[in-house]
Amino acid sequence: MARDGCLARVTAGFAVGGALGGAVGAVYGTYEAIRFKVPGLLKIRYIGQTTLGSAAVFGLFLGAGSLIHCGKSY
């Protein structure tokens, strides 16, 4: 039963990290695309890559943090 709770916490941590990372990545990608004057439809690709990359990194770290925290008993 404790394993199921731990898996749920890690999954939730990954989901929250992905959502937070996606939001930050979208804002940052938009800023960078405007700053570097990325032409036309390449802007959408650039923003998408930044969003997905940031979401993956944030999700990975928050999921790993949840996994580490799950093993501790206070």
- Asked, for residue 53, whether it belongs to a domain, the answer is yes
- Asked, for residue 7, whether it belongs to a domain, the answer is no
Which residues fall within 8 angstroms of residue 63, CB to CB, at 6 or more apart?
10, 11, 13, 14, 17
> Is 63 within 8 Å of 6 (Cβ atoms)?
no
**pLDDT score for 2:** 63
- Asked, for residue 2, whether it belongs to a domain, the answer is no
- Asked, for residue 54, whether it belongs to a domain, the answer is yes
- Asked, for residue 69, whether it belongs to a domain, the answer is yes
- Asked, for residue 5, whether it belongs to a domain, the answer is no
Q: Tens-digit pLDDT profile for the chain (74 aa)? A: 466 789 999 999 999 999 999 999 999 999 999 999 999 999 999 999 999 999 999 999 999 999 999 877 65
What angle (nearest 5°) sits at the alpha carbon of residue 25, between those of residues 22 and 31? Answer: 145
Q: Which domain holds residue 70?
A: 26-74
- Asked, for residue 43, whether it belongs to a domain, the answer is yes
- Asked, for residue 21, whether it belongs to a domain, the answer is no
**pLDDT score for 73:** 62
In the chain, the number of structural domains is 1
